[in-house]
């Protein structure tokens, strides 16, 4: 008997440590499979809705209104007396997310203004204690999500808190100077107790979405991570924890989609218009088509899409948002197989026609630029057994011809698509493949006579040693390339001799409300014995459907001639990179027939 008791005691004692330890893959599994979630920014800021004492600003995000107009806490907090979202229908919120095909909801439990949408015993600046509404919105949402089997996740601003003298960010009230504040006191008195409430009182929480970790130290971040792990080991920690402490995944800059596949777990937080919190005059809605294409593109690069709604003060998700998400949901009803549980494309760079997601044994080519004639997929070494359109329930085979050019060791699939695309937004062509998808590394002229020298595919060196330029600014170009010592070189295959057009592409970047671009950089393009001196100038601007806000800037660089088929090299060597702004936001060189 005594032995049995000892065994039971041991099991109970180890439960907290052993059974609660789950692997990173187990923790991330639901999130990786989900691919698509709803962000909700809701709070007192929905009352002014972008206007303060007759002041408006198109370029300022709604949830920052207290900061934008330096509204004293005493004045701003009085908004709580007006917060009474009587039209709030939590079932409608969850239905909107589920109908769009979203698998998780991340709601602001406390944003930078310090106001909590949940009952907090440690701070009465919250929806239950400080408003006529008096109900715990987070509890309502958490219960409904659990009931409807959709993950509930909590955004929590762990540093900025404009209601707190020891929080970060409020430099307009009579608070201590930032450097004299006791940030640790703020974390101990509000952040950790409220995170404990959120992770103790609302059932299983899918994720804590931390944000703007202003000068959060490593110790503070470690502390917050340990607290989440202790209270709910399965709960995911988002990318903006801070302190250089490893979160469970990375967050891109807002509305920023990388131009390539990106390894690991990452997520794009994005708006449906130009604000997170509701603004009564922001009608800059993205199109459902654009959002659907971004959903596919982000998944094709291995990421998740966290798409935002900003409910009004009376608790309603704007009709325009609901409409867009409903249309995305219509597309998902037919094509979700290409999104859920999908992995990134086997290719590194996106295609002009769309992109590719994959699952074991299948590639899903998502085409938003439907070809008027034969469709070509170049560089896939893997044998394709069958092709069909995902929208075609009968899986009628799509005819294709696998071509192989021995001299260049180049594989081309020539595909006979139907004249009309099954879905003008984005049509998915399924390719059943034999084994793993393997693609050629060599850069080869494609069937249309285009050679794409993408920045990320160059060999980059400084004084002969490997050097890197990060190709991941908002528009997909180089991030702050200011070192003129770094040189790029590509090797590529030309199939058709002749004279081609040469253009250098750089990108806009910066806050989407005020994008910027710096030209005037001087570079040399060197190929064979030809040297071209080019000044980066805005000869043309093109819309990039992946970035929506940040355009591609085209610099015409004249012609380039190849006398015979074969392997060529081209070098881009900066002569002078202007140091102001964000440097040379180089993206790629295109050589086109």
Q: What angle do CA 97, 98, 100 make, to 5 degrees?
A: 70
Q: Please, what is the minimum distance in Å from the beta carbon of residue 44 to ligand JFZ?
A: 13
Q: What distance in Å separates the CA atoms of residue 322 and residue 307, rounded to the nearest whole number?
A: 12
- The strands making up 540-542's β-sheet, listed across from edge to edge, are 450-454, 586-592, 498-507, 552-562, 540-542
Determine, following the binding rule CB under 6 A, whether residue 168 of this chain makes contact with ligand JFZ: no
- Judged by CB, which is closer to ligand JFZ: 31, or 331? 31
DSSP β-bridge partners for residue 254: none
Stretch touching ligand JFZ by CB under 6 A, among 25-33, 58-66, 330-338, 585-593: 58-66
Q: How, if at all, do strands 486-494 and 459-462 pair?
A: antiparallel
Determine, following the binding rule CB under 6 A, whether residue 254 of this chain makes contact with ligand JFZ: yes
Q: Tell me, what DSSP letter sits at residue 276?
A: S
- Judged by CB, which is closer to ligand JFZ: 89, or 254? 254
581: how many CB neighbours lie within 10 A of its CB?
Answer: 16
- Judged by CB, which is closer to ligand JFZ: 209, or 347? 209
Query: Per residue, what are the HEC states of 453-487?
Result: EEHHHCEEEECCEECCCCCCCCCCCCCCECCCCEE
CB within 8 A of 306, min separation 6: which ones? 37, 38, 39, 106, 267, 268, 269, 270
Render 2-17 in DSSP notation, one character per residue.
HHHHHHHHHHHHHIII
Stretch touching ligand JFZ by CB under 6 A, among 57-65, 90-98, 117-125, 130-138: 57-65
- Judged by CB, which is closer to ligand JFZ: 64, or 454? 64
Q: Please, what is the minimum distance in Å from the beta carbon of residue 138 to ligand JFZ?
A: 16
Q: How, if at all, do strands 443-444 and 400-405 pair?
A: unpaired
- Judged by CB, which is closer to ligand JFZ: 276, or 584? 276
Q: Please, what is the minimum distance in Å from the beta carbon of residue 68 to ligand JFZ?
A: 11
Q: What distance in Å separates the CA atoms of residue 288 and residue 426, rounded to the nearest whole number?
A: 11
Stretch touching ligand JFZ by CB under 6 A, among 26-34, 61-69, 337-345, 572-580: 61-69
- Judged by CB, which is closer to ligand JFZ: 65, or 413? 65
Determine, following the binding rule CB under 6 A, whether residue 276 of this chain makes contact with ligand JFZ: yes
Q: Please, what is the minimum distance in Å from the beta carbon of residue 258 to ligand JFZ?
A: 13
Q: What distance in Å separates the CA atoms of residue 541 and residue 555, rounded to the nearest whole number?
A: 9
Q: Please, what is the minimum distance in Å from the beta carbon of residue 496 to ligand JFZ?
A: 43
Stretch touching ligand JFZ by CB under 6 A, among 60-68, 93-101, 188-196, 197-205: 60-68
Determine, following the binding rule CB under 6 A, whether residue 310 of this chain makes contact with ligand JFZ: no
Q: Please, what is the minimum distance in Å from the beta carbon of residue 113 to ligand JFZ?
A: 10
Q: What distance in Å separates the CA atoms of residue 223 and residue 234, rounded to the nearest whole number?
A: 17
Query: Per residue, what are the HEC states of 305-318?
Result: EEEEECCCCCCCCC
Tokens 């929208």 belong to: 391
Q: Please, what is the minimum distance in Å from the beta carbon of residue 124 to ligand JFZ?
A: 23
Q: Please, what is the minimum distance in Å from the beta carbon of residue 279 to ligand JFZ?
A: 12
Q: What distance in Å separates the CA atoms of residue 405 and residue 137, rounded to the nearest whole number?
A: 62
- Structural tokens at position 479: 């991030």
- Judged by CB, which is closer to ligand JFZ: 148, or 253? 253
Q: Please, what is the minimum distance in Å from the beta carbon of residue 63 to ligand JFZ?
A: 5
Among residues 184, 253, 327, 480, the one that binds ligand JFZ under rule CB under 6 A = 253
Determine, following the binding rule CB under 6 A, whether residue 267 of this chain makes contact with ligand JFZ: no
- Judged by CB, which is closer to ligand JFZ: 208, or 433? 208
Determine, following the binding rule CB under 6 A, whether residue 217 of this chain makes contact with ligand JFZ: no
CB 243 within 8 A of CB 233: no
CB 152 within 8 A of CB 141: yes
Q: Please, what is the minimum distance in Å from the beta carbon of residue 227 to ligand JFZ?
A: 21
Stretch touching ligand JFZ by CB under 6 A, among 56-64, 168-176, 348-356, 409-417: 56-64
- Structural tokens at position 503: 């253009």
Q: Which helix (H) or strand (E) holds 25?
A: helix 24-34
- Structural tokens at position 491: 């090797």
Q: Tell me, what DSSP letter sits at residue 190?
A: I
- Judged by CB, which is closer to ligand JFZ: 107, or 205? 107
Q: Please, what is the minimum distance in Å from the beta carbon of residue 150 to ligand JFZ?
A: 20
CB within 8 A of 404, min separation 6: which ones? 410, 411, 412
- Judged by CB, which is closer to ligand JFZ: 118, or 490? 118
Alpha-helix runs per DSSP H in 187-286: 192-200, 218-231
- Phi, psi of 287, deg, nearest 5: -80, 155
Among residues 48, 60, 63, 261, the one that binds ligand JFZ under rule CB under 6 A = 63
Among 35, 504, 587, 29, smallest CA distance to 296 is for 35
Determine, following the binding rule CB under 6 A, whether residue 61 of this chain makes contact with ligand JFZ: yes
Q: Please, what is the minimum distance in Å from the beta carbon of residue 39 to ligand JFZ?
A: 7
Q: Residue number with the shortest CB distance to ligand JFZ? A: 253
| Number of residues forming the site for ligand JFZ (CB under 6 A) | 9
Determine, following the binding rule CB under 6 A, whether residue 501 of this chain makes contact with ligand JFZ: no
CB 335 within 8 A of CB 269: no
Determine, following the binding rule CB under 6 A, whether residue 212 of this chain makes contact with ligand JFZ: yes
Q: Please, what is the minimum distance in Å from the beta carbon of residue 567 to ligand JFZ?
A: 40
- Judged by CB, which is closer to ligand JFZ: 253, or 327? 253
- Judged by CB, which is closer to ligand JFZ: 269, or 583? 269
Among residues 211, 297, 446, 588, the one that binds ligand JFZ under rule CB under 6 A = 211
3-class secondary-structure state, position 117: coil
Among residues 213, 269, 329, 583, the one that binds ligand JFZ under rule CB under 6 A = 269
Q: Please, what is the minimum distance in Å from the beta carbon of residue 423 to ligand JFZ?
A: 30
Q: Please, what is the minimum distance in Å from the beta carbon of residue 211 to ligand JFZ?
A: 5
Tokens 């893959």 belong to: 25
* Burial category of 553 from C-beta neighbours within 10 Å (exposed 0-12, middle 13-18, buried 19 and up): buried
Stretch touching ligand JFZ by CB under 6 A, among 59-67, 350-358, 435-443, 495-503: 59-67
- The strands making up 427-433's β-sheet, listed across from edge to edge, are 354-359, 362-367, 427-433, 384-389
Residues that bind ligand JFZ (CB under 6 A): 61, 63-64, 211-212, 253-254, 269, 276
């Amino acid at each position: 008997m005594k032995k049995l008791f000892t065994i039971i005691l041991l099991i109970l004692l180890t439960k907290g440590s052993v059974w609660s330890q789950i692997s990173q893959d187990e923790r991330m599994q639901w999130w990786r499979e989900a691919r698509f979630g709803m962000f909700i920014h809701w709070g007192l800021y929905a009352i002014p809705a972008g206007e303060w004492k007759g002041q408006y600003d198109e370029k300022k995000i709604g949830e920052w209104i207290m900061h934008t107009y330096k509204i004293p806490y005493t004045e701003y907090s009085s908004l709580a007396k007006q917060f009474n979202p009587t039209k709030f229908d939590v079932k409608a919120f969850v239905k909107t997310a589920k109908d769009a095909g979203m698998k998780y909801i991340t709601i602001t439990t406390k944003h930078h203004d310090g106001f909590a949408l949940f009952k907090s015993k440690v701070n009465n600046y919250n929806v239950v204690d400080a408003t006529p509404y008096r109900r715990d919105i987070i509890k309502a949402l958490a219960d409904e999500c659990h009931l409807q089997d959709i993950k509930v996740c909590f955004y929590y601003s762990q540093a900025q808190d404009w209601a707190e003298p020891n929080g970060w960010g409020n430099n307009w009230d009579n608070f201590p100077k930032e450097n004299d504040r006791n940030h640790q006191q703020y974390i101990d008195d509000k952040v950790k107790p409220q995170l404990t409430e959120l992770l103790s009182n609302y059932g299983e929480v899918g994720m804590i979405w931390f944000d703007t970790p202003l000068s959060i130290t490593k110790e503070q971040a470690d502390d917050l991570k340990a607290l989440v792990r202790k209270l709910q080991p399965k709960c995911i920690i988002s990318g903006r924890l801070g302190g250089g402490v490893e979160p469970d995944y990375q967050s891109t800059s807002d509305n920023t989609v990388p131009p390539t596949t990106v390894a690991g777990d990452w997520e794009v937080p994005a708006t449906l218009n130009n604000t997170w919190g509701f603004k009564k005059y922001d009608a800059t809605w993205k199109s459902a088509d654009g959002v659907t294409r971004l959903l596919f593109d982000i998944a094709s690069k291995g990421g998740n899409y966290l798409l935002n709604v900003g409910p009004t003060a009376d608790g309603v998700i704007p009709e325009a948002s609901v409409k867009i998400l409903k249309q995305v949901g219509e597309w998902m009803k037919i094509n979700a197989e290409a999104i859920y549980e999908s992995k990134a494309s086997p290719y590194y760079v996106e295609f002009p026609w769309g992109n590719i997601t994959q699952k074991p044994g299948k590639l899903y080519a998502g085409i938003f630029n439907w070809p008027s004639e034969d469709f070509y997929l170049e560089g896939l070494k893997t044998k394709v057994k069958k092709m069909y359109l995902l929208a075609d329930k009968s899986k009628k085979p799509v005819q294709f011809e696998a071509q192989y050019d021995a001299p260049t060791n180049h594989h081309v699939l020539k595909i006979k698509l139907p004249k009309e695309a099954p879905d003008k937004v984005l049509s998915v062509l399924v390719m059943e493949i034999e084994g793993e998808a393997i693609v050629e590394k060599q850069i080869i002229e494609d069937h249309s006579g285009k050679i794409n020298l993408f920045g990320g595919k160059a060999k980059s060196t400084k004084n002969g040693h490997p050097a890197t330029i990060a190709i991941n600014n908002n528009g997909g170009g180089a991030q702050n390339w200011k070192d003129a010592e770094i040189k790029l070189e590509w090797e590529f295959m030309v199939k058709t001799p002749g004279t081609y057009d040469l253009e250098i592409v750089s990108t806009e970047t910066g806050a989407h409300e005020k994008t910027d671009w710096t030209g005037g950089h001087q570079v040399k393009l060197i190929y064979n014995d030809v040297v071209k001196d080019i000044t980066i100038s805005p000869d043309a601007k093109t819309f990039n459907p992946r970035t929506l806000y940040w355009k591609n800037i085209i610099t015409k660089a004249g012609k380039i001639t190849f006398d015979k088929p074969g392997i060529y090299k081209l070098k881009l060597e900066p002569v002078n990179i202007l140091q102001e702004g964000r440097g040379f936001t180089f993206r790629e060189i295109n050589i086109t027939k």
